[in-house]
Chains A and B, each alone.
Chain A
Amino acid sequence: MSESIKRQNKELSALNEDYAAKYGFHDPVNYFHKGAKGINHEVVEMISRMKKEPKWMAQKRHEALDIFLSKPIPQWGNTEMLNELDLDNIYYFMKPIEKQQHSWDDVPEYIKKTFDKLGIPEAERKFLGGVSAQYESEVVYHSMKQDLEKQGIIFLDMDTGLQKHGDLVKKYFGTVIPATDNKYAALNTSVWSGGSFLYIPPGVDVKIPLQAYFRINAENMGQFERTLIIADKGSRVHYIEGCTAPIYSTDSLHSGVIELIALEGAYIRYTTIQNWSNNIYNLVTQRAQAHKNATVEWVDGNLGSRLTMKYPCVQLVGEGARGEILSVAFAGTGQHQDAGAKIIHAAPNTSSRITSKSISKGKGRASYRGLVKIHKNAINSKASVECDALLIGEDARSDTYPTMEIDNEQVRVEHEARVSKVAEEQLFYLTSRGLTEDEARLLIVNGFMEPFTKELPLEYAVELNRLIELEMEGSVG
């Protein structure tokens, strides 16, 4: 046995101990048992039993599984790519030890290069490359955690949240996104693991953005993560999930569910940047409910993956509620970003704004799929939609599928859609000032993204710009 394998085994067994200590999981036989591919009630039962969950959750999982099995694969969007995904050839629950099956050598070269160029630290690389289960951020997080606890804020991974705050979870879990919503939300409900649980007490203003990154580990970056955020009356929070570095996983499917609830007068901003490796199907359901005078903002960036289908939604259910969705998608060759936004106006005097930006490069394809629905009772509501697509190269593709359903006449709705190319005139203008053609093209792309990047915390904006720079390298107009 080579030294490296020995060392790896040692690391893995150390990890095993750590996991047992942390999650109180003491069944060595089961622990090393390798789960089977595919999904059935036995798998769901095993997940629930291992997590020592309350009965109601187990029941939810089983019901959701039946819904998942009964629903057909969507017959819209990129059906060709969706049909290629073999749902029977996926592990639906992997114990951490099984997740560590690949070594650094297996991580694709382009991912490693990107880590190099972004200057990602060693410990983080292993985690992001799926080689190590734990990113050592505990130290950073620890002092912050105490501060949050003092304010009564609950910020836990979803599994722990369920264990410690069962009643709160039970009250809200699946109320915004029921398992019946769509096939992948049903799948998530039946096999979910990890994700974040966040509760902000009434009137509390969380001054610093809360980042899942602080407490990142394999569990909450899982395939089927489940996140639930509740901002109680008059509270404010900005939550940031994901990072710009590419995340490599051998799992081909990522299907998360994220539910946000902003109670009266509350404010939630949820910022995500995801950059999955380009083998991944990223089929995520994100939805928020904004009650009276509450505001929810989704700031959603999608890079990487093979196919992303993601349409952040805000339901404006209380009078005076406001929703905003700002999204950006970057599709390179072999990738399809089918992203968009949904706003449901279900109360009077509600307002919303959707800004969607997409960049398609090479043979990449970006689609905007959006819905604005204004119910009969939602009088004096305002909605605006703006879609901008930028094409780089002759083969890049962009499509727009906007839907408007307006059931009353006392509303103001604006819609604007633009498709542009990096114009020769822009390139000449910038090159005549001394920028090389690549520098000029990058500046134009960064400018195009500016309405999005300016909403990000500085370090994310800088990282995103660098990442776009890497994506743009050597691209031919």
Chain B
Amino acid sequence: MSDKKPLFVFKDVHVEVEGKEVVKGVSLTINKGEIHAVMGPNGSGKSSLSNALMGHPDYTITKGEVSLNGKNVKEMSADERSRAGMFLAFQYPTAIPGVSVANFLRTALKAHRGKDADMSDFRKLLKAEMKNLSIDPSFATRYLNDGFSGGEKKRVEILQMSILNPKIALLDETDSGLDIDALKTVSEGINRFHNEENGILLVTHYQRLLNYVKPDFVHVLMDGRFVKSGGPELALKLEESGYDWVENEIRQKAKV
């Protein structure tokens, strides 16, 4: 256990949206090489947490600490967090009409590296990563998320992650809207990305993604709080018994 190196840490994080507290004090430490899953029913605060961690201006962290490799990121803007090594795969990626996937990725890479990527290196990288994710080459010149199906958007999110190669990836409901083949492809992409130096936080409602991407830890978020943590078996139990089971358990405890 002594070789564990904390990568992404948040402590007692509270999040407010339009003056309402939706995340009420959550803490987590993700060490290098670890995959954590945050599971919870609709409205439990999952998306608010991932948006707030990435620095969405509408999701204010009113209290708590967030750090990456020991560096405080709470005061950073979203772009600074990205350049520091954070990535959020969106549940609903936004369309940017007129901006091609290739042009966008090249611009994003430039923002990260501080200089233009070599054109032919970039093309090779893009081509290879697109092939890995079974994305048709024509998508390079298509406008970002403009008219993409749900599954295509999710693949392109993972494509961006592969190319930007962040230290910590927050994946918000990446499995939603995917058919079984797409789910496999996307999962393979996530597993290819994962290594001993980076970390992943999977935010999901369902267990099915976790059949393909094996988490080291599972945390259950309800009403803005982590109410239970465990290993991968917790996800299976949730799948089997539903979130009611956790709720009942909490109620029982409260009675005692």
Contact = CB atoms under 8 A, between A and B. Distances in A.
Given A443-B99, A447-B143, A435 B88 contact: no
Interface stretch (B53-61, B64-72, B216-224, B227-235): B53-61
A229 to B, nearest CB: 30
B252 interface: no
A121 interface: no
Interface of A is mostly: helix
Given A439-B111, A443-B107, A430 B98 contact: no
Given A434-B79, A434-B164, A435-B108, A424 B99 contact: no
B97 interface: yes
A105 interface: no
A449 interface: yes
B25 interface: no
A448 B98 contact: yes
B94 A437 contact: no
Contact of B77 (A431, A444, A448): A431
B82 A429 contact: no
A425 interface: yes
Contacts of A434: 79, 82-83, 108, 111-112, 164
Contacts of A425: 94
B94 to A, nearest CB: 4
Interface residues on A, range: 20 to 34
A432 B99 contact: no
B90 interface: yes
Interface in A391-450: 423-426, 428-437, 439-440, 443-444, 446-450
Interface residues on B, range: 20 to 34
A446 to B, nearest CB: 7
Nearest to B78: A431
Nearest to A420: B97
Given A432-B54, A435-B111, A447 B83 contact: no
A218 B99 CA distance: 38
A234 interface: no
A423 B92 CA distance: 14
B78 A428 contact: yes
A366 B164 CA distance: 38
A92 to B, nearest CB: 42
Interface in B154-183: 160, 164
A22 to B, nearest CB: 45
Given A428-B56, A443-B104, A433 B111 contact: yes
Contacts of B128: none
A445 B196 CA distance: 40
A451 interface: yes
Contacts of B57: 424, 428
Contacts of A440: 79
Given A436-B111, A448-B98, A450-B97, 10 more contacts: A425-B94, A426-B94, A426-B96, A428-B78, A428-B94, A431-B77, A433-B79, A440-B79, A447-B97, A450-B143
22 contacts: A424-B57, A424-B58, A425-B94, A426-B96, A431-B55, A431-B78, A432-B90, A433-B104, A434-B82, A434-B83, A435-B79, A435-B107, A435-B108, A436-B111, A437-B77, A439-B111, A440-B79, A443-B104, A447-B96, A447-B98, A448-B97, A451-B98
Interface of B: 54-58, 77-79, 81-83, 87-88, 90, 93-94, 96-99, 104, 107-108, 111-112, 143, 160, 164
